Amino acid sequence: MKFAVNVIEALLIVAIAPLVRGVIARVKARIQNRRGASVLRPYADLLKLFRKEDLVPDTASALFRFAPVVLFAVTVTAAAFVPVLHPSALLGVSGDFIVLVYLLAAGRFFLMLGAMDGGSSFGGMGASREALVSTLAEAPLFLGLTSVAILAHTVRLSGIVEFSVRQNPFQLSAVHVLAFGALALVAIAETGRIPVDNPTTHLELTMIHEAMVLEYSGPSLALIEWASAVKLTLIMALLVGVFVPWGMATSNSLLGLAFALLAFLFKFAVLAIVIAMIESSLAKLRMYLVPDFLGVASALAILAVVFTALMR
Amino acid sequence: MGLIGLAVAKALASSAVFLFVTVLMMASAKRISTCIVLFGLQSAVMAAQIVALAYAGKLLEAYAIAALVVVVKIVAIPYALFRIVRDLKAPHDTASSTTVAQSVFIMAGLILLSFFAVAPYAKTLRIDENMLASAVALVLSGAFLMVSRKKALMQVIGLLVLENGIFLAALTTTFGMPLVIEIGISFDLLMGVFLMGLFVFRIRDTFEHLDVSKLRRLRG
Average pLDDT in the A114-120 region? 89
Q: What are the tens digits of pLDDT across the range A183-226? A: 999 999 988 888 888 877 777 777 888 889 888 999 999 999 99
Residues 6 or more apart from B108 whose CB is under 8 A from it?
A299, A300, A302, A303, B24
DSSP character for A39? T
pLDDT of amino acid B130: 82
DSSP character for B72? I
Q: What are the tens digits of pLDDT across the range B73-95? A: 999 999 999 998 888 887 788 88
pLDDT of amino acid B177: 67
In one letter, which amino acid is B4? I
Question: Interface pTM (ipTM) of the complex?
Answer: 0.78
In one letter, which amino acid is A289? L
User: Is it the case that residue A80 has pLDDT exceeding 80?
Assistant: yes
Per-residue confidence band for A105, with pLDDT thresholds at 50, 70 and 90: very high
Rounded Cα gap, residues B4 and A22, in angstroms? 43
The overall longest dimension of chain A from CA atoms, in Å, is 60
Rounded Cα gap, residues B163 and B167, in angstroms? 6
What is the sign of the dihedral through the CA atoms of A202, A207, A211 and A213?
negative
Q: Where are the alpha helices (DSSP H) in chain A?
A: 2-31, 41-51, 63-79, 96-117, 121-152, 157-166, 174-190, 209-212, 218-243, 254-281, 290-310
Map out the domains of chain B as residue ranges: 2-214
pLDDT of amino acid B90: 77
Contact list, A296 vs chain B (CB under 8 Å): 28, 100-101, 104
Cβ contact, residue pair A303, B111, below 8 Å: yes
Contact list, B24 vs chain A (CB under 8 Å): 181, 299-300, 303
Count of CB atoms within 10 A of residue B106's CB? 17
Nearest CA in chain B to A311: B130
Cβ contact, residue pair B111, A174, below 8 Å: no
pLDDT of amino acid B55: 83
Nearest CA in chain A to B115: A310
A181 and chain B in contact, CB less than 8 A:
yes
Rounded Cα gap, residues B17 and B15, in angstroms? 5
Tell me which of B6, B22, B25, B28 to substitute to probe the interface with A (most A C-beta atoms closer than 10 Å).
Answer: B28
Count of CB atoms within 10 A of residue B132's CB? 24
Rounded Cα gap, residues B20 and B27, in angstroms? 11
B21 and chain A in contact, CB less than 8 A:
yes
Contact list, A139 vs chain B (CB under 8 Å): none
Count of CB atoms within 10 A of residue A283's CB? 8
Percent of chain A with pLDDT over 70: 98
Q: What are the tens digits of pLDDT across the range A248-298? A: 887 778 888 888 899 999 999 999 999 999 988 888 888 888 888 999 999
Q: What pTM did the predictor assign?
A: 0.87
Which stretches in chain B have pLDDT values below 70? 1-2, 11, 175-177, 217-220
